Structure 1
Amino acid sequence: MNIKLLFTTAILITLSSCSNDSTSDLVTPTNNAVTIKYSSDIASIINSNCLSCHASPPVNGAPMQLTTYDDVKNAILTGGLIDRISRAQGSGGMMPDAGNRLPQATIDKIIKWQTDGFVN
């Protein structure tokens, strides 16, 4: 009888000490619910970082233009755009050429745009 009482008491103490009131162990949620769109998110990145060479027509030896939604989508699908912008600073073929590597958050946004299905 004493063992049952001791066991029951131990279980009640254990269960009553468990709670979810702590915020220190919570994971910061990522904003994966937000859909990245070309018109509101990607076009400005391309305009600010790529069009000095990838204009229409391309200049400075750029092999393609990146002036439209279709141009950018095609560059990701067949032109290796994500590989080129993801290379380490100073690596051969890194884009923007002769510039600073895009911030990783910007690269991640372009990758998420692809993952989201190239929403216009």
Structure 2
Amino acid sequence: MIRYLTRPAILFLGAITIGCSSSDNSDGVIPPDDPDNESVTYTANIRPIIQSNCTSCHGNPPTQNAPMSLTTLQQVRSAVQSRNLLGRINSTTNPMPPDGRLPVSARNAIQAWVDAGFPE
């Protein structure tokens, strides 16, 4: 009898352990609900996201028919302010990058950076 009760208990504890050990912060970006969120900066947080996901097309010069470069803080800021960068990275129908949306934590970090006034 104990043997039959032990198996479900072990499976249940294993499932809880696996579920609790995963994290949505795998790309190292500070999520917006982090208490230290005001420390999101272009240099520390946003530039690595852009370099990893955008500059293969939005480099200097842009390739693959990309309309602008995203290699500097000013260019990224301008893209947010006048080229709907936030709309494109959050789009489910026409996302940037075109091979799939950025992770939620990256999109949230970019939004937090914008909300904080584009700190360098």
Fold-level match, TM-score > 0.5?
A: yes
Task: Mark the CA change 1:42 to 1:119 in structure 2 (over 3 Å): closer, same or farther.
Answer: same
| One-letter amino acid matched to 1:117 | G
Partner of 2:51: 47
Task: Mark the CA change 1:108 to 1:102 in structure 2 (over 3 Å): closer, same or farther.
Answer: same
Structure 2 residue runs without a partner (length 5+):
1-32
Aligned-residue offset at 1:33: 3.9
Aligned-residue offset at 1:34: 2.6
* Distance (Å, rounded) in 1 between the aligned partners of 2:35 and 2:60: 33
TM-score, normalising length from structure 1? 0.69
Partner of 2:89: 85
* Distance (Å, rounded) in 2 between the aligned partners of 1:81 and 1:69: 13
- Tell me the alpha carbon deviations over residues 72-115 of structure 1, each in whole angstroms, 9 at most, x when there is no partner: 00000001000000011xx13x1002x12111111011000000
Partner of 2:37: 34
Aligned-residue offset at 1:59: 0.5
Partner of 1:95: 96
Between 1 and 2, higher relative CO (CA 8 Å, sep ≥ 6) is seen in 2
Mapped pair 1:56 → 2:60? yes
Say which SS state the counterpart of residue 65 (structure 1) adopts: coil
How many pairs are equivalent? 87
Deviating 4+ runs (over 3 angstroms): none
Pairwise CA RMSD:
1.0
Structure number with larger C-alpha Rg: 1
Partner of 2:115: 115
Structure 1 residue runs without a partner (length 5+):
1-29
